[in-house]
Chains A and B, each alone.
Chain A
Amino acid sequence: MDQVRVRKAPGGLAPLQRESVEPAYYHGLTYREAAEKLAVAEGMVKTRIRDGLVRLRAAPGTH
């Protein structure tokens, strides 16, 4: 009893994906704001957020 299964934090993300997902998710920035903060192109952040979510979806960690 008292087994627990939890989802993994986004540790499975590539660094660039995590760098894009985290400001948006944890800090409430828009992707444009995240791009400005990271000094990269907006489109790149947008793509990395998407790719990061795809990756998390594909490998939802459990246990």
Chain B
Amino acid sequence: MTTLDLHHLAGAYALDAVDDTERAAFEAHLPACTACDDTVREFRVTAALLGTAHAREPGPTFRAHLLDRLARTPQLPAEDARRPVGRSGWAVTAATAGVVAALAVAIGLAWWSGGAGPAPVITSGDVLGAPDASTTQAETGAALATATTSRTLGAITITTRHFPDPGADRRYQVWLLGGREPRSAGLLRGGDAVLTASLPAGVSGVEVTTEPAAGSPRPSTPPVLILSLTS
């Protein structure tokens, strides 16, 4: 296969529409070709958007429903405390809860700023109840993801429902998009989970990838789902 052939394969490769031989040849080509690497990355994001084509608008009672759940749900232990994130020193605590009922558990989430000691704690309840809370949903297959942002709180809460098991020693990793590179917001198990993270200015989207259980410094798999945030 010529190099030109390989360049032209980027689209089919990004959609996983190649056979094993072509996949191997293209993957051997990728490390040496920045253009193809960039193209595939962009194509995969685009392809993931096709997977969110069935995104739907939350009903007017959606947030009230979440808040009601929050009030009635006992607190569950956080799985994934204190994941330092990003290069700028900001850090978040991500937390997951394993059952549907925990959709909006009031998990305490602490902010650390450059090691200067604990900053105010913002919970998923704070975000969902914020006057300026804005909600976006997307679904792919049976999996549903909801992102609620509060720009005044500078925080985002992501809830997932019916996410398939990501596999042994794998987790879903949530990334905030819009900066120079994706920033990790934390890890989630399959099933139903909730995570709250700080929301830096300029973040315009969220993507979810599957990564090793310990997390990845950057997305290493095609996104399973992408949410475009309201500004």
Chain A interface (Cβ < 8 Å from any Cβ of B): 1-10, 21, 24-26, 28-32, 34, 43, 45-47, 49-54, 56-57, 60, 62
Contact = CB atoms under 8 A, between A and B. Distances in A.
A2 B58 contact: yes
Given A2-B63, A3-B230, A4-B58, A31 B12 contact: yes
B228 to A, nearest CB: 5
B110 interface: no
Contacts of B16: 24, 28
A53 B19 contact: no
Interface in B48-67: 49-50, 52-53, 55-60, 62-63
27 contacts: A1-B63, A2-B57, A2-B58, A2-B59, A4-B136, A4-B230, A5-B230, A7-B50, A7-B228, A9-B53, A10-B50, A21-B15, A25-B47, A26-B50, A30-B17, A34-B17, A45-B12, A49-B12, A49-B17, A50-B10, A53-B15, A53-B46, A54-B11, A57-B43, A57-B45, A60-B49, A62-B228
B37 to A, nearest CB: 15
Contact of A31 (B18, B49, B138): B18
Contacts of B138: 6
Q: Which 4 A-B residue pairings sit nearest by Cβ, starting from the closest?
A: A50-B11, A24-B17, A6-B55, A9-B53
A40 B128 CA distance: 51
Contacts of A2: 57-60, 62-63, 134-135
B55 A4 contact: yes
Chain B contact residues (Cβ within 8 angstroms of A): what range?
35 or more
Contact of B137 (A4, A46, A49): A4
A52 to B, nearest CB: 7
A60 B46 contact: yes
Nearest to A3: B230
A47 B14 CA distance: 13
Contact of A25 (B50, B136, B137, B229): B50
A29 B135 CA distance: 35
A6 B52 contact: yes
B136 A53 contact: no
A1 B53 contact: no
Contact of B8 (A8, A46, A52): A46
